[in-house]
Every structure is written in structure tokens, then in C-alpha cells.
């Protein structure tokens, strides 16, 4: 099994180091190879996704990614900005399914802005389609309007589009994921207004017939945004398009209170995947040794489960994280009165200790 390790910028290097430490104690045979990506790659090679990094990612079973970006690169031409590396990897690896679990750990219930009774025990999975929708649809651009409310005025336009195979494959991913959970899928659309999403809804319904054991319901995106804060535990697996998924997955993630806890995975059709924390490179705290490494460590657990077929090792990591939280250790972002504040490295060490002392059985 080969893993490409791409720490990136800012806190990326600090948090990925902790995840690698955790992988190292699992007694599994991995080949880990690191490469530069993002701003670090731009500084060294003049491009955020150099050929060598892309080659390594392509020939690996999985990519463990930290984060990229820094405000100092904001003035660069768009193709050279660090964030373009993620788009390049998604495109070149054919990553089309983004998994974002939102889990509320018992010990962190108070970190949420919602009442504890609404959030305690929350465990939902948002699956966002990554290749289609209004983000990539052509044509797009600026022009002079020839019709509409202001003919002759300057206007901008994008195209929302989905093809049948794109919707079928993401629907299958969602139904398969639901089979491993509580067998419920909510498909989120805007079929009442958008042709593209009536098409989406029809196809998800068709694919759903292949999964009679999974309960399917449909919800309009505006209602879904409301229900996520009103009664989030109603959901289990949520599947939706690229734009709605972008917004709803951030909303769901923040229900749990801390961005430092949230892993994510982006998969292609051969289960090769890119695994990364949901947060960015946090330049404001980079180099201070205070970043929470748990989102990255939990992303490594997702990598073991989805791309490397090591579900028991994934369980061991997830149990170790719960154990460490139960023991009262907290990085600054999740610290509260009565808990012990620790740095990035100590948090990683504590997870390693929980695994190696075999206090955790998985």
C-alpha cells in the first residue's frame, strides 16, 4: 500500500506529522512518500501542483493531505495559487464523491452553538458530488445582455448541468454508504425550481429502486438548510450536488462546534482517495504548535477504511481519539473549563499512546 503524504502549508506540516506518527504505530505495511504541494511547492518549483507531486499522487492508493494556502499568495495569478493544487488533484484523480462526516463527540457537546439535546449523539454523513453542477458547467462568462430585465446591460452567467452517469454514480455511492449505516438516504435538490435538479431527483429515485433495503427521501435545499439546525439528528446520509453540498457540508460540520475535529475524504471510482481535514492552513496559528491534529488523524482513519481496506485499524484510531477526549486532553480550539490544554504534538502523542498501550481494543 502506498500513501502519498502532502502536508502543504501553514499548520499542514504540523498536523500531518501527527497523523503519520499514528499510522506508524499500527503495524501495517505502508510505503509513505512525501511531496510538496500548495504554496510550499510554488516557492520551490514555481507551481502549486508540480508534475512530480501529481505523479506520486496518481501512483499511490491514497493521498494524505494537510492544507494549502496563505494570504501572501492572494495576489498571484489564479492558476498559481496554492488552492489550485486541490482542484488539480481532484480533476486528475477523477475524485467525484466527497464524504464529510459530522460527528458530535460526547465530550464536546458544549462546543456546539446548538442545545446539547439537539446535538448529542449526532452522526451524519454528507456526500457531495464534486465534478458537475454550476461550478464546471459551460458556457460561463460575462457579456452584454440581449434579453432579460436589462437588455444592453453587462451581465455574468454560469451553467448548471448534470449528466445521467454523474448522478447515477454519486447516488450509488450514497446508497452503498447508507447500507453500512442506518440505511437511510436524504437526497437534497431544488427540483421545484431547477430543471437540473428535477433530473437529479428522477435519477436518484430510479437508482434507489436497486436498493429496496434503503429508505430514500427527498428534500429541497432551503428546507434541508433549516432542518440541519432545527433537528440535525433526523438525517443520516445526505447526498447532494456540488454547490448545495459545498454549503450544507460546512453547515453540518459547524454543528459539531469545532472545525479542528472534522475529517473528509474524496474518492474516485476505484476507491483511490484524497483525505484531508475540513479546515484550511490556519496561517494565524501556524508554527505555534497549537493546532488540533485530530481532524487529520481522523482523516487517516477514513483513508484506512475507504481506500486501504483496513477497517479494524480505522476503528482503533477512532477509539483512541474518543479515549483521549474522555481523558480530558484538549487543544485550544476545543478547550473548556475543567479540561487540560495541550499542543499539537502532545495530542498526537496521546493518540499514539492510547493505541500502543492497548488500552483501546477498537
Is 222 tagged catalytic? yes
Is 70 tagged catalytic? no
Kindly tell me which residue out of 61, 216, 333, 355 binds ligand NAD, with binding defined by CB under 6 A.
Answer: 333
Is 180 tagged catalytic? no
- Closer by beta carbon to ligand NAD, 167 or else 267: 267
- Closer by beta carbon to ligand NAD, 88 or else 208: 88
Q: Which of 123, 158, 246, 349 is catalytic?
A: 246
Residue with cell 440535525: 232
CB of 141 to ligand NAD, least distance (A): 24
CB of 303 to ligand NAD, least distance (A): 15
Total number of residues that touch ligand NAD (CB under 6 A): 23
- Closer by beta carbon to ligand NAD, 203 or else 254: 254
Site string for ligand NAD, 230-269 (x = CB under 6 A): -----------------------------xx---------
Rama region for 63: left / alpha / beta (φ>0; ψ in -120 to 50; rest): beta
Helices 12-24 and 294-306: crossing angle in degrees, nearest 10, is 50
- Closer by beta carbon to ligand NAD, 276 or else 318: 276
Kindly tell me which residue out of 101, 208, 280, 348 binds ligand NAD, with binding defined by CB under 6 A.
Answer: 280
CB of 83 to ligand NAD, least distance (A): 5
* Cβ atoms 274, 5 nearer than 8 A: no
Q: Whose CA is closest to 361, among 317, 324, 326, 298?
A: 317
* Cβ atoms 6, 35 nearer than 8 A: yes
Q: Whose CA is closest to 102, among 114, 90, 94, 93?
A: 114
Site for ligand NAD in 96-115 (CB under 6 A): none
Q: How many CA atoms lie within 13 A of 163 on its CB side?
A: 9
CB of 21 to ligand NAD, least distance (A): 16
Q: Cβ neighbours of residue 223 under 8 Å, at least 6 residues apart?
A: none
Site for ligand NAD in 1-40 (CB under 6 A): 11, 15
Kindly tell me which residue out of 18, 61, 70, 189 binds ligand NAD, with binding defined by CB under 6 A.
Answer: 70
The window from 49-57, 106-114, 186-194, 280-288 that contacts ligand NAD (CB under 6 A) reads 280-288
Outline where the chain has alpha helix (H).
Answer: 12-24, 39-45, 51-58, 84-93, 116-119, 164-179, 195-208, 221-230, 242-255, 294-306, 311-326, 344-356
Q: Which of 72, 222, 234, 288 is catalytic?
A: 222
CB of 270 to ligand NAD, least distance (A): 23
Cell readout for 273 is 482517495
Q: How many CA atoms lie within 13 A of 350 on its CB side?
A: 24
Q: How far is CA 316 from the centre of its chain?
A: 20
CB of 232 to ligand NAD, least distance (A): 21
How many whole angstroms separate alpha carbon 244 and alpha carbon 290? 32
Using CB atoms within 10 A of its CB, is residue 209 exposed (0-12), middle (13-18) or buried (19+)? exposed
Q: Whose CA is closest to 104, among 92, 118, 94?
A: 118
Q: Which of 123, 250, 315, 349 is catalytic?
A: 250
Kindly tell me which residue out of 83, 158, 168, 251 binds ligand NAD, with binding defined by CB under 6 A.
Answer: 83
Site string for ligand NAD, 281-320 (x = CB under 6 A): xxxxx-----xx--x-------------------------
Dihedral of CA 277/259/240/140: which sign?
A: negative
CB of 173 to ligand NAD, least distance (A): 21
Cell readout for 225 is 438548510
The window from 17-25, 41-49, 64-72, 301-309 that contacts ligand NAD (CB under 6 A) reads 64-72
How many CB atoms sit inside 10 A of residue 135's CB?
A: 16
Q: Whose CA is closest to 128, among 159, 165, 95?
A: 95
Is 135 tagged catalytic? yes
86 is a contact residue toward ligand NAD (CB under 6 A): yes
Is 190 tagged catalytic? yes
Footprint on this chain of ligand NAD (rule: CB under 6 A): 11, 15, 67-70, 83, 86, 259-260, 276, 279-285, 291-292, 295, 331, 333
Q: Which residues are catalytic?
A: 135, 190, 222, 246, 250
Amino acid at each position: 500500500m502506498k500513501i502519498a503524504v502532502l502536508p502543504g502549508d501553514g499548520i499542514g506540516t504540523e498536523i500531518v506529522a501527527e497523523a503519520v506518527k499514528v499510522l506508524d504505530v499500527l503495524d501495517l505495511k505502508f510505503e509513505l512518500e512525501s511531496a510538496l504541494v500548495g504554496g510550499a511547492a510554488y516557492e520551490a518549483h514555481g507551481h502549486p501542483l508540480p508534475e512530480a507531486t501529481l505523479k506520486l499522487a496518481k501512483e499511490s492508493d491514497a493521498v494524505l493531505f494537510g492544507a494549502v494556502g496563505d494570504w501572501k499568495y492572494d495576489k498571484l495569478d489564479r492558476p498559481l495559487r496554492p488552492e489550485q493544487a486541490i482542484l488539480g488533484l481532484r480533476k486528475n484523480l477523477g475524485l467525484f464523491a466527497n464524504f464529510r462526516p459530522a460527528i458530535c463527540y460526547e465530550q464536546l457537546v458544549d462546543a456546539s452553538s446548538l442545545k446539547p439535546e439537539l446535538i448529542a449523539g449526532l452522526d451524519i454523513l454528507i456526500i457531495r458530488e464534486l465534478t458537475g453542477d454550476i461550478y464546471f458547467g459551460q458556457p460561463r462568462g460575462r457579456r452584454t445582455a440581449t434579453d432579460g430585465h436589462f437588455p444592453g446591460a453587462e451581465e455574468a452567467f454560469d451553467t448548471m448541468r448534470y449528466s445521467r452517469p454523474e448522478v447515477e454514480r454519486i447516488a450509488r455511492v450514497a446508497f452503498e454508504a447508507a447500507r453500512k449505516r442506518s440505511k437511510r438516504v436524504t437526497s437534497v435538490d431544488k427540483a421545484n425550481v431547477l430543471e437540473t435538479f428535477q433530473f437529479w431527483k428522477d435519477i436518484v429515485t430510479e437508482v434507489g429502486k436497486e436498493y429496496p433495503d434503503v429508505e430514500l427521501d427527498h428534500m429541497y435545499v432551503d428546507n434541508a438548510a433549516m432542518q440541519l439546525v432545527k433537528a440535525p439528528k433526523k438525517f443520516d446520509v445526505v447526498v447532494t450536488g456540488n454547490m448545495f453540498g459545498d454549503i450544507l457540508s460546512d453547515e453540518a460540520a459547524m454543528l459539531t462546534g469545532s472545525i479542528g475535529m472534522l475529517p473528509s475524504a474524496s474518492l474516485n471510482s476505484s476507491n483511490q482517495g484524497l483525505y484531508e481535514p475540513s479546515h484550511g492552513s490556519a496561517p494565524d496559528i501556524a508554527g505555534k504548535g497549537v493546532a488540533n491534529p485530530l481532524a487529520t488523524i481522523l482523516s487517516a482513519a477514513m483513508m484506512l477504511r475507504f481506500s486501504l481496506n483496513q477497517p479494524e485499524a480505522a476503528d482503533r484510531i477512532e477509539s483512541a481519539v474518543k479515549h483521549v477526549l474522555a481523558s480530558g486532553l484538549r487543544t485550544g480550539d476545543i478547550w473548556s473549563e475543567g479540561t487540560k490544554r495541550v499542543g499539537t504534538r502532545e495530542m498526537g502523542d496521546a493518540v499514539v499512546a492510547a493505541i500502543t498501550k492497548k488500552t483501546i481494543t477498537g
